[in-house]
Amino acid sequence: MKKREWVLTIAIVVSIALAIVNMNLRTKVAFVRTGDLLEQYKGMDEAVQNYERQISHWQSKLDSIQGELHLEITNYNADSLTYSRREKIEKKEKIRAIQFQYQQLNYQLKEKAKTEDQKIMTSILNQVNSFIHEFGEKNGYDIIFGTLETGNVIYGKDKIDITEELIYELNKSYSGE
């Protein structure tokens, strides 16, 4: 009976090993160079351009206040000898108020820019991840790894690198083709 149990155990182990090997042979795996994909994604280009336009608009508001401040300081320095004590106090208060307004707006715009940048990146990454998921399902991939410069995939053969195909398909989808 022991010999029979031993043979049965070996048969089970061999069957499991063959099943694992067979499963691994049928697993479709690929990787994508994430940095290249994002860099060449048209949606990312458009989002960056929109963000830069928004930043430029905000910067023009800030520049306007800075110009006003510079003008007030220049006028004060040029005419301060002719001002009464009360006028000097009023002009200095006006300059301080403009400085405060500038500092407040500068802080608010930096915070707004940071928030907007995070919002845009989250949206882009969600779009790309969703597309990769659909692409993987459609093309029968079991796993698609994303490589980063910091190295979660150190090496992969070119035949399983689908970056260029994904860039093409993602941009085609983005363009509505």
SS (H, E, C) 12-46: HHHHHHHHHHHHHHHCCEEEEEHHHHHHHCHHHHH
pLDDT per position as a tens digit, 92-105: 999 999 999 999 99
* Stated pTM of the model: 0.69
Structural domain boundaries in the chain: 27-174
pLDDT per position as a tens digit, 69-87: 999 999 999 998 899 999 9
Residue 15 has pLDDT above 70, yes or no: no
Q: Which fold has domain 27-174?
A: Protein Binding, DinI Protein; Chain A (3.30.910)
What phi and psi, each to the nearest 5 degrees, are found at residue 149? -60, -30
**DSSP letters along 141-155, please?**
-SEEEEE-TT-SS--
pLDDT band, residue 23 (cuts 50/70/90): low
Residue 91 has pLDDT above 80, yes or no: yes
> 118 or 5, which is more confident?
118
pLDDT band, residue 154 (cuts 50/70/90): low
